[in-house]
Chain A
Amino acid sequence: MISLLDCFFYSISSMLVASSLAVILVRHPVRAALFLVLSFVMAAMLWMLLEAEFLSLVLIFVYVGAIMTLFLFVIMMLPAEESLSWKKWRGFPFALLLFALLLSLLFYMLKHSLLLGASASPADTTSTYTNTQAIGHILYTQYALPFEMIGILLLVAMVAAIMLTFRGRRVDAKGQCINKQVRASKQDQLKLVNIPSEGEKG
């Protein structure tokens, strides 16, 4: 007897696999990006099935809502036709090697873990704890130092990205002086002119 949860699990994961395949097989970059969005959503739903609601919603919020939007933003600016068609097979041997490596890693992991015996439905956790609180407790006590370090690392990466693209202030760059704009008053912007009327006709 397949339970409803199993049903959900298999349909969601097959859609996840299908959409992930579509990401690399679809020719058009925008469509590939949209399939990537779909696979993120499916992964989030899998997490939701495992009752990891925090991870699931954060995946949607961060990856789907922010990162993929920026991705799409950039990809949409690309010209549609010429992408992906050139020299399609050049990296193929390398890709095959990478694929074999990842696959063997996956099998190794599966063999040495309990995952093979696990079912699709999560261990029944009664709702005495919330996922968010549990993650927060671990993140700010046990893993506080690595967590802060990742934050600093990201900050450094951000500063580096800005430094790489910042080419110094151009001399002739046009900018606005906000103070000056705010301080502008009616007296120095507006001139009231009194024009004598031409008189009424007839």
Chain B
Amino acid sequence: MLEAWLTLIWIVIKILLIILPLMGAVAYLTLAERKIIGRMQARMGPNRAGLFGVLQPLADGLKLLCKEIILPSSANRFLFIVSPILVLAPALAVWAVIPFSEGLVLANINAGVLYLLAMTSLGVYGILIAGWSSNSKYAFYGSMRAAAQVISYEISMGFALAGVLLASGSMNLSQIVLRQAGGVWHWFVIPLFPLFFVYWVSAIAETNRAPFDVAEGESEIVAGFHVEYSGMGFAIFFLAEYANMIFVSTLAVLLFFGGWLSPFEGIPILGKWFAWMPGIIWLLAKISLFLFLYLWLRATFPRYRYDQIMRLGWKILIPLSLLWVIVVALFVYYHVGIWFA
């Protein structure tokens, strides 16, 4: 019995070791976003709280914690309070199967990718219920848009993941990464580049980020599904959104860019120089690149119109991913190149 308790406590400690740094990363991702987009728009970004604004996320968090929580008078009270939790829970649950380095994973399950698909598909409930329960037309419009968009892009994202499964022959994320060992040219991004493109576009759409942020669309429907939320409820929606951004970037790295593997692997001199570097540093570096890409895209592209989003999802990304899944199947069948030898 004691042993069971010790296992349980050890698991809780591991969960905390994932969640607490994640929360820190979310906090500083907001600062990074404001700083980077600020620089891209020739502004300074926040620079008053602490040196170069490093205390800004803490100040924001404190402010949101202290703010009054407003319940709209005709809102469905229970669902209104539950929906931020429903958004955050799947956003945290996905991290259970993410390997940070070889063997450094909370739950090394065989159906890892399937679990991720199942969990990410749950996130839309919180958004739908938030929009409906606040009993406000803007919030409702926002959640309708979010639901339609997430459902459409889930299909192409699923096909992109299916292509990776075909290529690696496993649904275990650690094994998918290990299949890409042997240097940069072994990474799946090379044979699966169209699928990577599909994945990345759908990932941005799934996380409701610019240029696919019609669900929020400040200029049209105020702030979309979370327009009625204040204080901590609002903060939790934001927490989930940024945690999802980090997750989606991590998944892109794991599936297409060799996860924790060093990019200098197999290169004569550089490979030796960087051999001491622990895998998790490479992983974090690659994730940061993708997060930067996220912010860069937001600063670059204007928001898509709703019908353009649907057209891109259904008429371009889904046929492209379907086609490339067949191509990958042929690659695997005929053992093309170094990837499927």
Contacts and interface: CB of A to CB of B under 8 A. Distances in A.
Interface of A: 30, 34, 37, 53-54, 57-58, 60-61, 64-66, 69-70, 72-73, 76, 130-132, 176, 178
24 contacts: A30-B132, A53-B114, A54-B111, A54-B114, A57-B115, A58-B114, A58-B118, A60-B122, A61-B118, A64-B122, A65-B118, A65-B124, A66-B151, A66-B154, A69-B125, A72-B132, A76-B128, A76-B132, A76-B140, A130-B110, A130-B111, A131-B110, A132-B110, A176-B307
A70 B150 CA distance: 11
A58 B122 CA distance: 12
A65 B128 contact: no
Residue of B117, B118, B150 with most partner-chain A CB within 10 A: B118
Contact of B122 (A54, A65, A130, A132): A65
Contacts of A132: 110-111, 114, 171
A57 B111 CA distance: 8
B310 interface: no
A72 B129 CA distance: 9
B129 A61 contact: no
A72 B110 contact: no
Contacts of A60: 118, 121-122
Residue of B114, B154, B171 with most partner-chain A CB within 10 A: B114
Contacts of A54: 111, 114
Contacts of A37: 125
A53 B128 contact: no
Interface in B28-79: 79
B118 A53 contact: no
Chain A at the B interface: SS class:
helix
B295 interface: no
A126 to B, nearest CB: 13
A65 B206 CA distance: 13
Interface string B118-135: 100110110011001000
A170 B255 CA distance: 45
B128 A69 contact: yes
Given A72-B128, A73-B128, A132-B110, A64 B121 contact: yes
B105 interface: no
A65 B148 CA distance: 12
Nearest to A59: B118
Contacts of B150: 69
Nearest to A67: B151
Contacts of B299: none
Contacts of A34: 79, 129
Nearest to A54: B111
B109 interface: yes
A53 B111 contact: yes
Nearest to B169: A133
A112 to B, nearest CB: 33
A80 to B, nearest CB: 10
B297 interface: no
B322 to A, nearest CB: 13
Contact of B118 (A30, A57, A176, A178): A57
B144 interface: yes
Given A34-B129, A37-B125, A131 B111 contact: yes
B114 A70 contact: no
B147 interface: yes
B109 A61 contact: no
A201 to B, nearest CB: 30
Contacts of A130: 110-111, 171
Residue of A53, A61, A64 with most partner-chain B CB within 10 A: A61
A70 B122 CA distance: 13
Nearest to B158: A61
Contacts of B132: 30, 72, 76
A76 B117 CA distance: 25
Given A53-B110, A70-B151, 18 more contacts: A34-B79, A34-B129, A57-B111, A57-B117, A58-B118, A61-B114, A61-B121, A64-B121, A65-B124, A65-B154, A69-B128, A69-B151, A72-B128, A72-B147, A73-B128, A76-B132, A130-B110, A178-B311
